[in-house]
């Protein structure tokens, strides 16, 4: 059994086309639209889920940096190391 929760501040949206504008969350899981301070919806959660799956598979974060500004640049560039070779 796998249970997942939101480790930041969550918000209930009124519909699937609603957008939020708040900026919160663990920096390593922030999606590009959150970093750029754009409106966002459930796609930002899917991004965070993808980061979590990558972390579980590779045993490291896809975007690693010691400073927030560098982390932002890496996320926005979209470049990350491929998953280990035993994954298809």
Whether residue 3 is predicted with pLDDT greater than 80 in this model: the reply is no
Rounded-to-integer distance, Cα 8 and Cα 77, Å:
24
Whether residue 8 is predicted with pLDDT greater than 60 in this model: the reply is no
Is residue 61 included in any domain, yes or no?
Answer: yes
Q: How confident is the model at residue 2, as a pLDDT?
A: 74
What are the C-alpha distances in Å from 66 to residues 40, 71, 74?
26, 7, 11
- Domains: count for the chain: 1
Whether residue 14 is predicted with pLDDT greater than 80 in this model: the reply is no
Torsion angle (degrees, nearest 10) of CA 66, 11, 37, 47: 60
pLDDT digits (tens, 9 = 90+) for 24-74: 557 888 889 988 888 878 888 889 889 999 999 999 999 999 898 999 999
Is residue 86 included in any domain, yes or no?
Answer: no
Domain that holds residue 65: 27-77
Is residue 59 included in any domain, yes or no?
Answer: yes
Whether residue 81 is predicted with pLDDT greater than 60 in this model: the reply is yes
């Amino acid at each position: 059994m796998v249970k997942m929760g939101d480790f930041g501040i969550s918000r209930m949206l009124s519909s699937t086309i609603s957008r939020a504008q708040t900026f919160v969350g663990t920096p390593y899981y922030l999606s590009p639209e959150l970093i750029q301070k754009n409106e966002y919806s459930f796609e930002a959660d899917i991004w965070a889920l993808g980061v979590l799956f990558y972390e579980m598979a590779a045993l490291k974060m896809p975007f690693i940096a010691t400073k927030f500004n560098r982390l932002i640049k890496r996320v926005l560039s979209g470049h990350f190391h491929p998953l280990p070779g035993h994954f298809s």
